[in-house]
Amino acid sequence: MIPDSVETVAAFLLLIAPGYVWQTRAAKYLPELKASALREATRIVFASLIPSILAALLVLTLLRDQLPVLRADPDPLHVVIASITISAVACLFAYLGALFHFRKERRWASQISGGSALYKALTQYPENSKVAQVLVTARLKDGTVWRGAHMAHDVEAEVPFRTLFLAPPLVRRNATTGTVAEYGTGNYVVIPLDQVSSLQLKYRSGKESGKAEAAAS
């Protein structure tokens, strides 16, 4: 269906503006490499509904006596002002909602550009594979080698101190003595990526992870 007026297009853009705000914040913390246009459009529309409804209820409730748009024959200028106000409040709600919702992801989940090879390696697994765990072997510049399960990473350009977070089963090989130490449940290691000389990844299926946990217990 083709819009028959500029007002219709403007009203539609104001309606979906909160969805764009939400998606912008979501893409910062949860980047996605591939998404169809239909999927993106659906996300934007649904992300616009709740903040727009809340903003409309709030604005029209607080200003119902001052808004002539509620009258039978409203002034077009007042309609425009009310629409922009509601859209602006809805965008604010969407921004604050995304900021709160993705607060945990900002701390622990992947924060990385969607085009990065490291992001693809850590999050985009081979086709038709059932990957339950990614084992990372990190060789540091001083010769120390860490091996553990990938838990999280923050390698976005905006993050000044980029790290890789590994969880048990953890193994560390000392660079000087060559001795190997194992660390079980409750132990984690945070590796600064600027100290890493190379990374090796191994994808483990659910069956392999289950066997490893049974053997460890």
- pLDDT of amino acid 127: 56
> Taking the model in full, what pTM does it have?
0.41
What percent of the chain stands above pLDDT 90? 2
Task: Judge contact between 74 and 68, C-beta under 8 A.
Answer: yes
CA 157, CA 72: separation in Å to the nearest integer? 54
- Fold annotation for 117-216: SH3 type barrels. (2.30.30)
In this model, does residue 155 exceed pLDDT 70?
A: no
In the chain, domain spans: 6-108, 117-216
CA 180, CA 53: separation in Å to the nearest integer? 59
Task: Judge contact between 59 and 89, C-beta under 8 A.
Answer: yes
CA atoms lying within 13 Å on the CB side of residue 217: 6
Task: Judge contact between 49 and 57, C-beta under 8 A.
Answer: no
Average pLDDT over residues 7-14: 72
Please tell me whether residue 3 adopts helix, strand or coil conformation.
coil
